[in-house]
Amino acid sequence: MVGLRYRQGLAKSQPVTPEILLLPLRAPLASLPGLGPRLSALMARLVGGGTVRDVLFHLPVDFLDRRATPKIAEARAGMVATLRVEVIRHEAPLTKKQPHRVVIGDGSGFAEIVLFHAARLAQFPVGARLIVSGRLESFADRLVLAHPDYVASQLQEQEFPWIEPVWPLTAGIVPRVMRRAALGALAVLPEFAEWQEASVLRARGWPGFTEAFRAVQAPARIPDEKPFERLAYDELLARQISFAIVRGLRRRRAGRSLCGAGRLRAVALKRFGFTPTAGQLAALAEIDADMAAPHRMLRLLQGDVGSGKTLVALLACLRAIEAGTQAAFLAPTEVLAKQHFATFSRLSPVPVALLTGNVKGTERRRILAGLRDGTLPFLIGTHAIFQKQVEFRELGLAVIDEQHRFGVDQRLALGKKGAATDMLVMTATPIPRTLLLTHWAEMEVSRITEKPQGREAITTTIHKLSDLARVEDAIARAIATGGRVYWVCPLVSESEVVDLTATEVRFARLRQRFGHGVVLAHGKMEPAARDAALAGFAAGRAQILVATTVIEVGVDVPEANVMVIEHAERFGLEQLHQLRGRVGRGAAKSFFLLLHDDKLAATARRRLTLLRDTDDGFVIADEDFRLRGAGDYLGTKQSGLPGYRLADAEKHEGLLHMARQDAELLLLRDPRLESERGQAAKLLLNLFDQREAIETIRAG
């Protein structure tokens, strides 16, 4: 392998494994030139790891062109220039506050180097012929270079950084330190066997892996996007191969075929009284195919609020029950669990039980006994289902509603309640396609994109906060005609840091005008008081509910036909879309009012306008993802895709879809990665720490 260095010789009989090939990149940061213990610690925090590979993966974000080499007479203040000069003399400062000056010349004229630290004078011995580079300034009609970025002998011209990468840095790591470390990492970077298809490299004009790193970390010219694309695709491909291997393992994992004649479903649909939409039927067909297969199902069902996911889940549960097993439906809150219990009890031809933390005594013992002996086939519950005492005779299907509110460990814990349990997870939060491929790619995905028949469109309007009085007049008219109103605020109490109107302040103002028909609900209230407010609003004893986003999930009041969002610019698009789904559930015309600060940034206006102009949750999710970035979308303060080092969601979305197809085709042709490209792909998986996939392949 060209360029590969080993610290110790290898025995001739020792096989060359991926682990051995990667040894130079697994070396600690302290092995790189210029990095002692203190700088190694700073560098580790900067690059996100403690190995040589982590330095390589810390890519520059820009490049500084130092190839402009004018004569002093031609140079102008403001330009970044590199001068070939001779040191003429040093001029000491007259006072301690003044800098040291070094007079330089090149035959066409003279300039000065200004140094505020005397220690740097040693870089400028009188008579030395140097290359100096930095931003030129003008002072008292003299051309000045204050603290040059680079100083080198003219004999070292070949090593001079004519194109300088600009890396994200942290305190204590200056460009010179980063450059030495990057060059040291490049020096030990092996020439790996190629894991990309030659046809792809030709078509895209991509360089080889090692060449791509050299092009961005030590460029001879300012690189275009091709080396960055190549490296991003390597990372995306590694992750997609890993996902595909894990999906394949799940498909091979023994399950059972759950089939039925559809008798229970027929009863439920007759009680429901409506024909399922084409979208519901398509999703149900995909779920049925998974349940009939001999492997375990793991499927994500996406659909907007009101798209009919709950009916699809009920019909899937009845299939599992008709096949002789049990079904469990997990909801994130007790309010939502009770709503599902009421719906399922009305539609289901088999007994349904509700288990929450508040179910105790005789009723709890009855439910637990029925689950153990199988006489209770259908359970709706909250986190109480996870308790050790909850045992099923034979759990065939587990459904998780609002899956983002549960951790992966909880999902796995529910799946372990049965010997070969199928899993259906649901979300009313439309997930951007990019995140589906990067964070939920181990699941199969079904999407319901239609709205149920008879669902009225919601009129969305945008208003300034200075129009508050007019908005209050509008909700007064809505209440007069029998409507009910949600008023959503972003905070619970006044904040000295963020000047927003708080929920409690808005509640006080509205109650002053509308009296005791206004109730309050937020997350810091006692649960009993909050539930009482929600129940009073649902029952019609109150006409206005002032709340935080506790009403985002689990509040179903068909009579509520108006929602006001205060400081709408502070909410994410996806969250606003979720909130909008709380109205428009009854026969009355519904309205969604977005109140924003009078001074609104262009991006915020674009976001609110998009929400006004479309009610397609998937379009909104994709646009929200592009506007906010993956880090903000997932709640992490970083750019790019969280967990990814070289790929960026916005720039490389097209490559992501390409990588998924490439990975699936590779594993279809070579499931154990034994071909020449397959062996190289194993190296790729090791390089990007996809250990689960590697172990899966080894285990067969």
Percent of the chain scoring above 70 in pLDDT: 86
- On the question of pLDDT at 10 being above 50, the answer is no
Determine the residue type at 207. P
Whether 427 and 550 map to the same domain: the answer is no
| First and final C-alpha spacing in the chain | 29
Residue 437: pLDDT band by 50, 70, 90 thresholds? low
- On the question of pLDDT at 412 being above 70, the answer is no
Tokens of 308: 């009919």
590/585 Cα distance (integer angstroms): 8
419/417 Cα distance (integer angstroms): 7
- On the question of pLDDT at 474 being above 90, the answer is yes
Task: Tell me how far the alpha carbon of residue 393 is from its chain's centroid.
Answer: 38
- Report the pLDDT value the prediction gives residue 5, as an integer from 0 to 100: 45
Bridge-based pairing of strands 484-488 and 560-565 is parallel
Is position 653 within any domain? no
- Write down the residue that tokens 């096989």 correspond to: 15
Residue 11: pLDDT band by 50, 70, 90 thresholds? very low
Is the pTM higher than 0.75? The answer reads: no
Whether 435 and 467 map to the same domain: the answer is no
Tokens of 190: 């092996």
Residue 644: pLDDT band by 50, 70, 90 thresholds? confident
Query: What DSSP designation does 104 have?
Result: E
Mean pLDDT taken over the chain: 86
- Report the pLDDT value the prediction gives residue 127, as an integer from 0 to 100: 94
Whether 378 and 524 map to the same domain: the answer is no
pLDDT digits (tens, 9 = 90+) for 117-159: 888 899 999 999 999 999 999 888 889 998 898 899 999 888 8
Q: Quick one: CA dihedral 350, 356, 359, 365, positive or negative?
A: positive
Whether 431 and 296 map to the same domain: the answer is yes
Is position 472 within any domain? yes
Give 12 or 397, the one with higher predicted confidence.
397
468/442 Cα distance (integer angstroms): 47
The count of structural domains within the chain is 3
Is position 655 within any domain? no
- Report the pLDDT value the prediction gives residue 629, as an integer from 0 to 100: 56
The torsion angle over the Cα atoms of residues 270, 275, 278 and 280, rounded to 10 degrees, is -40
Q: Are 134 and 79 in contact (CB under 8 A)?
A: no
- Report the pLDDT value the prediction gives residue 18, as an integer from 0 to 100: 66
- Residue 400 CB partners (closer than 8 Å, separation 6+): 330, 406, 411, 414, 423, 424, 425, 426
636/632 Cα distance (integer angstroms): 6
Whether 433 and 493 map to the same domain: the answer is no
Q: Are 378 and 268 in contact (CB under 8 A)?
A: no
CATH of residue 148's domain is 2.40.50.140
50/655 Cα distance (integer angstroms): 29
- On the question of pLDDT at 374 being above 60, the answer is yes
Whether 338 and 415 map to the same domain: the answer is yes
**What is the DSSP code string of 80-101?**
EEEEEEEEEEEE--SSTTSPEE
Whether 439 and 550 map to the same domain: the answer is no
Long-range contacts of range 332-337, CB-CB < 8 Å, 24 or more positions apart? 332/382, 332/401, 332/402, 332/405, 332/406, 332/553, 332/554, 333/382, 333/553, 333/554, 334/358, 334/382, 335/531, 335/534, 335/554, 335/555, 336/401, 336/402, 336/553, 336/554, 337/380, 337/381, 337/382
582/570 Cα distance (integer angstroms): 19
- Report the pLDDT value the prediction gives residue 228, as an integer from 0 to 100: 96
103/88 Cα distance (integer angstroms): 5
Query: What DSSP designation does 207 have?
Result: P
- Residue 667 CB partners (closer than 8 Å, separation 6+): 241, 244, 245, 248, 673
Percent of the chain scoring above 90 in pLDDT: 52
- Report the pLDDT value the prediction gives residue 297, as an integer from 0 to 100: 87
Give the residue from 392, 427, 448 where a domain finishes. Answer: 448
- Cα 313–Cα 404–Cα 567 angle in degrees, nearest 5: 115
Choose from 9-23, 291-305, 444-458, 611-625 the range with maximum mean pLDDT.
291-305
Whether 333 and 420 map to the same domain: the answer is yes
Q: Are 590 and 543 in contact (CB under 8 A)?
A: no
Give the residue from 386, 415, 448 where a domain finishes. Answer: 448
- On the question of pLDDT at 492 being above 80, the answer is no
- Report the pLDDT value the prediction gives residue 7, as an integer from 0 to 100: 43
Buried b (16+ CB within 10 A) or exposed e, 265-297: beebbeebeeebbebbebbbebbbebbeeebbb
Give the residue from 143, 160, 177 where a domain finishes. Answer: 160
Q: Are 594 and 612 in contact (CB under 8 A)?
A: yes
- Report the pLDDT value the prediction gives residue 503, as an integer from 0 to 100: 82
**What is the DSSP code string of 501-551?**
--HHHHHHHHHHHHGGGEEEE-TTS-HHHHHHHHHHHHHTS-SEEEESGGG
What residue numbers bound the domain in which 526 lies? 458-614
- Write down the residue that tokens 């008579």 correspond to: 127
The torsion angle over the Cα atoms of residues 177, 180, 185 and 189, rounded to 10 degrees, is 160
- On the question of pLDDT at 590 being above 50, the answer is yes
The counts of H helices and E strands in the chain are 24, 21
- Report the pLDDT value the prediction gives residue 453, as an integer from 0 to 100: 63
Give 558 or 227, the one with higher predicted confidence.
227
* CA atoms within 13 A of residue 29's CA, in its CB half-sphere: 27
Residue of 497, 501, 500, 499 whose CA lies nearest to 509:
501
pLDDT digits (tens, 9 = 90+) for 164-184: 999 999 888 989 899 999 999
Whether 602 and 468 map to the same domain: the answer is yes
- Write down the residue that tokens 């078509």 correspond to: 203
Is position 313 within any domain? yes
Is position 128 within any domain? yes
Helix (H) / strand (E) element for 368: namely helix 361-373
Is position 661 within any domain? no
Mean pLDDT of 516-528: 86
CATH of residue 298's domain is 3.40.50.300
Determine the residue type at 513. R
- Report the pLDDT value the prediction gives residue 156, as an integer from 0 to 100: 87
β partners of residue 400: 330, 425
- On the question of pLDDT at 235 being above 50, the answer is yes
193/548 Cα distance (integer angstroms): 56
Give 667 or 451, the one with higher predicted confidence.
667
482/480 Cα distance (integer angstroms): 6
Whether 331 and 410 map to the same domain: the answer is yes
Tokens of 347: 């539609």
- Report the pLDDT value the prediction gives residue 82, as an integer from 0 to 100: 93
Whether 471 and 439 map to the same domain: the answer is no
Mean pLDDT of 351-359: 91
Q: Are 109 and 86 in contact (CB under 8 A)?
A: no
- On the question of pLDDT at 517 being above 80, the answer is yes
pLDDT digits (tens, 9 = 90+) for 529-588: 888 888 899 889 999 999 887 665 556 788 899 999 999 998 888 788 888 888 887 778
Give 534 or 110, the one with higher predicted confidence.
110
Is position 29 within any domain? no
Tokens of 213: 């790193």
- Report the pLDDT value the prediction gives residue 497, as an integer from 0 to 100: 45
Query: What DSSP designation does 688 have?
Result: T
- Cα 238–Cα 301–Cα 490 angle in degrees, nearest 5: 95
pLDDT digits (tens, 9 = 90+) for 305-341: 778 899 999 999 999 999 999 999 998 888 888 989 9
504/546 Cα distance (integer angstroms): 8
pLDDT digits (tens, 9 = 90+) for 382-409: 888 888 889 999 999 999 887 555 555 5
Residue of 453, 65, 86 whose CA lies nearest to 277:
453
β partners of residue 485: 544, 562
Whether 503 and 399 map to the same domain: the answer is no
- On the question of pLDDT at 640 being above 50, the answer is no
Residue of 457, 450, 483 whose CA lies nearest to 274:
450
Residue 454: pLDDT band by 50, 70, 90 thresholds? low
Is position 183 within any domain? no
